[in-house]
Amino acid sequence: MLQRKLLVLGLLMSSGAANAQWDSIVGSVTSIGEPTERWVSIRGGNTAYLVDVDEGEVKGTLPLSRFSPAISSHASAGKIYTYGSFYKRDVYGDLENVVITFDIESATPTGEIPLPVLPAGIGHSGMIGLIDESFLGIWNITPAMSVSLVDIRNDQFVREIATPGCAAVYPLGRGFMMPCGDGTIQYIALGPNGEEASRSRSPAFFDVMEDPVYDYAVPTANGWMFVSLEGLVYEATMNGSDVVISEGWTINPESNGTADLNGVERVNDDNWRISGRQPFAYSPQANLMMTVMHDGGGQEMFEKPGTEVWGFSTITKNRGYRIKMEGDQTVTSVQLTPGDDPLLLLMTSSGLQVHDASTGRKIKDINVSGGLIQNLF
Amino acid sequence: MSDREQLIQQLLKDLDARTTGAIRFLAGHTSRRSFLGKVGMFMAGMGAFPLLPVLREANAQGVTPRTAVNGVADIVEMGDPQECEYWRYCGMSGTLCTCCGGSNTQCPAGSQTATVAWVGTCHNPADGRDYLISYNDCCGKSSCGSCGCSRGEGDKPVYFPSKSNSILWCFGSTSHAYHCTLALVIGHGDSNGMR
């Protein structure tokens, strides 16, 4: 009887061994899958990390050049665009400037479009913009300022448009906005083939020497949000061919010596100022705005890391909460995911943090470091 | 002749001497149409910003050192040029060339000096005067990485480039690879008004 049991046991064990699923020694390659509204791109080094912030995982990476500050997502078409400058010997030798098209699902480059003009090698998401799902606009500085237009319907460089004194590409309709050194916002409308149809400027609403707006901007429902270094928030929209600037509101309202409804004197936070490489974010659906904040200093702090993030209701223009970084942590970038229930994303000195945007409560850390956070949708 | 007039004269001399190289660089890297467009934009830009305080590096041949020309031949120095707190670095953002085999006036061996720069006005604690500082990037090699320094006083967004350190200031170099940054004294800030 014992012998029979041992025989059966031996047969079972040998059967299991024969069916064991060992890994292939050559491995295999995954595909990324379909991105959702909760996917973002994180630029770190010469790489764009595609991160699902719901799952808290890096889903894939895109290889960039050392001169690729940002991507431009066309996720509905399964594509991501970027541009890069490549020297034959990495940092010297013959130069190629190209737009690169990536297929998102396979995270591989699928096309290149040569650029005859040197694009800005550093910066943020405003350096490249997808215009009306037809053109890519790429900001150049040589140091003359211009915008290169690439027709993505036929993958052709179209033309260079001179934009003296104005920077970045913020798409709106079939055209784009850009802040200018004379204190205005310029809008350039494009024709069907990328030709310049018209250009117009807002009235001057800031003084570049006194309180300039960031060259970084975020989209609103009908235009773009610009914020000055002293914390004045503006929206730029179009009314026909006119660029309209909303009345500014401040993230630092005067509260010195005043009391709240219950007679409690408010804490003086006048020394706090907006800062960071990606200093603010806005959700038009949730009416929330976030700012990276730094305590002390002057306007020269405008790109420095912050130690707090403030959350505002854009309906009341009131601050709803403050998030304090832990210990000596700092924060450089803030982003809100799309949709009615956005997540708040912070790039800190310790990696990416995900927070509930309505409460500010921290949900998770994601093990990815870098700088610019861009939504794929 | 005032310091300001001397400074402008020097600027014009430098422009003459260095523009050829810059144009050669642009022409070599762009189509003819694009190149002509750039020249047009540059000329338009010169009109729009007649006092744009972007200064070009002196040609090494036949040009009197700028510190003498601009009336700042004998600067009383104080502080360590390898420390970010050093007085010339008030508008600095980048890596100090003094830590990379160069100095505040010379790029490290094997790198190239950018011929266009951003400027700042810094206070010299040793003589109590303000000086106009030109921050020229050295390019063509991978980043030195030593002695990072980001003070950025007077820094502006990129649409105001002459005061913006957020631009890759390697114009005029054959490569845009950033290596480190110089801090050249090019005039008295308290007399030329170019802040």
Strand arrangement of the beta sheet that strand B112-113 belongs to: B112-113, B137-139, B178-181
Which of A67, A88, A92 has the highest number of chain B CBs within 10 A, making it the mutation to test binding with B? Answer: A92
Is the Cβ pair A162, B160 closer than 8 Å? no
Digit-coded pLDDT (tens) for B38-61: 444 444 444 333 333 344 443 333
Digit-coded pLDDT (tens) for B127-145: 999 999 999 999 999 999 8
Average pLDDT over all residues of chain B: 73
Q: Write down how long chain A is.
A: 377
Residues A228, A302: Cα–Cα separation, whole Å? 9
Residues A130, A173: Cα–Cα separation, whole Å? 10
Inform me whether the pLDDT recorded for B175 exceeds 90. yes
Q: Is B137 a catalytic residue?
A: yes
A119: number of Cβ within 10 Å: 25
Is the Cβ pair B26, A142 closer than 8 Å? yes
Q: Write down how long chain B is.
A: 195
Task: Give the three-class secondary structure for A199.
Answer: strand
pLDDT value of residue A13: 57
Closest of A119, A87, A91 to residue B111, by C-alpha: A91
Residues of B in contact with A214 (CB under 8 A): 157
Q: Which of B118, B127, B169, B190 is catalytic?
A: B118
Tell me which DSSP letter residue A278 carries.
B
Let me know the angle formed at the C-alpha of A132 by A128 and A137, rounded to the nearest 5 degrees. Answer: 25
Residues of A in contact with B138 (CB under 8 A): none
Whether residue A274 contacts residue A328, with contact meaning beta carbons closer than 8 Å, is answered with: no
DSSP E strands in A203-278: the ranges are: 218-219, 223-227, 232-239, 242-245, 249-250, 272-274
Is the Cβ pair A141, B161 closer than 8 Å? yes
Question: What percent of chain B lies above the pLDDT cut of 90?
Answer: 56
Stretches where chain A sits below pLDDT 50 are none
Residues A225, A48: Cα–Cα separation, whole Å? 25
Is the Cβ pair B159, A167 closer than 8 Å? yes
A interface residues, B as partner, C-beta within 8 Å: 66-67, 85, 87, 90-93, 95, 116-118, 120-123, 141-146, 160, 162, 164-168, 178-181, 208, 212-215, 298-300, 302-304
Inform me whether the pLDDT recorded for B195 exceeds 80. no
Closest of A167, A159, A155 to residue B33, by C-alpha: A159
Inform me whether the pLDDT recorded for B32 exceeds 80. no
Q: Is B118 a catalytic residue?
A: yes
Residues A274, A294: Cα–Cα separation, whole Å? 6
Closest of A329, A361, A328, A327 to residue A344, by C-alpha: A361
Is the Cβ pair A123, B166 closer than 8 Å? yes
Inform me whether the pLDDT recorded for B29 exceeds 50. no
Find the residue in B nearest to A184 (Cα).
B159
Nearest CA distance, B126 vs chain A (angstrom): 24
pLDDT value of residue B193: 45
Residues B57, B55: Cα–Cα separation, whole Å? 7
Digit-coded pLDDT (tens) for B59-92: 333 333 444 445 566 789 999 999 999 999 999 9
B83: number of Cβ within 10 Å: 13
Question: What percent of chain B lies above the pLDDT cut of 70?
Answer: 59
Q: Report the CATH number that the domain containing residue B12 is assigned in CATH.
A: 2.60.30.10
* Peptide bond between residue A143 and the one before it cis (omega within 30 degrees of 0): yes
Residues B146, B143: Cα–Cα separation, whole Å? 9
pLDDT value of residue B20: 34
Structure token digits, residue A274: 């907006």
Beta strands A218-219 and A223-227: pairing type? antiparallel
Nearest CA distance, A289 vs chain B (angstrom): 21
pLDDT value of residue A265: 78
Query: If DSSP states are collapsed to H, E and C, what string results for A70-138?
Result: CEEEEHHHCEEEEEEEEECCECCCCEEEEEEEEECCCCEEEEEEECCCCECCCCCHHHEEEECCCEEEE
Digit-coded pLDDT (tens) for B181-192: 999 999 988 655
Distances in Å between the Cα of B9 and the Cα atoms of B1, B101, B194 are 10, 32, 14
Size of interface A-B (CB pairs under 8 A): 112
Is the model more confident about B27 or about B100? B100
Residues of B in contact with A202 (CB under 8 A): none
Digit-coded pLDDT (tens) for A118-151: 999 999 999 999 999 999 999 999 999 999 999 9
What's the structural domain count of chain B?
Answer: 1
Q: Which residues contact A234 (CB under 8 A, 6 or more apart)?
A: A205, A213, A225, A226, A227, A228, A245, A246, A248
Domain of B49 in residue numbering reads as: 3-192
Nearest CA distance, A158 vs chain B (angstrom): 12
Is the Cβ pair B175, A87 closer than 8 Å? yes
**How many Å from the N-terminal Cα to the C-terminal Cα in chain B?**
20
Strand partners, B133: B120, B185
| Residue among A92, A118, A146 minimizing CB distance to B177 | A92
Positive or negative: CA dihedral B105, B97, B52, A142: positive
Is the Cβ pair A117, B30 closer than 8 Å? yes
pLDDT value of residue B42: 40
Burial of A181 (0-12, 13-18, 19+ CB in 10 A): buried
